[in-house]
Amino acid sequence: MLIAQISDTHISEPGTKAYGIAPMAENLALCVEHINQQEPLPDVVLVTGDISCSGKEEELAYAADLLDKLTMPYYVIPGNHDNRSALLSVFQGDRCPVEVSIDNKFIHYVIDSFPLSLIAVDSTMEGEPGGEICEERLAWLEKQLIINGDKPCVLFMHHPPARFNVIESDIDGFVGSDKLGEFVCKYPNIQQILCGHLHLATFQQWNGTVISVAPSTGMGLLLDLTMKRPSQFFLDPPSYQLHLWNSKQSLISHTVVVKKGERSYLFKKQ
């Protein structure tokens, strides 16, 4: 099974660039084209939030137009730049199979039709940049993991639930991180927690699993491990993750960088 993961696409309204400078729609189109040409073809694509720049329905609808060109199923979850109700009005259905009711305001769901179950977790906190898992979401997650039994699974959510020594995780924070960590320890079948938000490709062992953070499709975070400077981003070639679940039952993650018009150069060993 092959999973592609796209994150932090930050799509602005048609005809504009994100923050006036980043060609994020063009970047997303390049990633989609690249994924469609992968061999083997990914079985599924996970889009891990910050799909839009500011949560507007027009931005999300434009992102949907670009993502709909994928030739395989894809699933979305919200990030802190998205808006739950706008996201649902654009994506609810096959691309976001969530049942939202008075009792459930969160965008979480389970895809169990693959060898690896895909569990979408809503880590957003209305109006806040940081992440959260509250008692209600934890209870929902526990119920899903009990139903899932010992079948291998991944969680996918926008915010990484741990500190990575960068402002985006350590200052933005994650409410409920300790409780989620204690809980995750009990389920060794959680292969990885696939996240975004940091605009960095980075990994961390955490409570018996691995938190794997996908890069943005073109806005990289300038790495500052001193955390003294305000966050700065730079224009990066678009990139995405490929997660390969192999017959040895391990999940291998690769970062794929999409460089427009560049050919690979073969270096021969001397």
Q: Which stretch binds Fe ion (CB under 5 A): 22-30, 34-42, 45-53, 130-138?
A: 45-53
How many other CB atoms sit within 10 Å of the CB of residue 140? 20
Burial track 235-259 (b if 16+ CB lie within 10 A, e otherwise): ebebbbbbbebeeeeebebeeeebe
Q: Which of 50, 59, 122, 132 binds Fe ion (CB under 5 A)?
A: 50
Measured from the CB atom, the residue of 50 and 132 that comes closer to Fe ion is: 50
Min CB(218)–Fe ion separation in Å:
11
Q: Which of 194, 197, 211, 241 binds Fe ion (CB under 5 A)?
A: 197
Q: Which of 3, 4, 5, 8 binds Fe ion (CB under 5 A)?
A: 8
122 binds Fe ion (CB under 5 A): no
Min CB(86)–Fe ion separation in Å:
16
3-state percent breakdown (helix, strand, coil) of the chain, nearest 5? 20, 25, 50
Q: What single-letter amino acid sits at 191?
A: Q
Count of residues interacting with Fe ion (CB under 5 A): 5
Q: Which of 79, 161, 176, 238 binds Fe ion (CB under 5 A)?
A: 79
Q: Structure tokens of 105?
A: 């305001």
Burial track 80-97 (b if 16+ CB lie within 10 A, e otherwise): bbbbbebbbebbbeebbe
78 binds Fe ion (CB under 5 A): no
Binding site for Fe ion (CB under 5 A): 8, 50, 79-80, 197
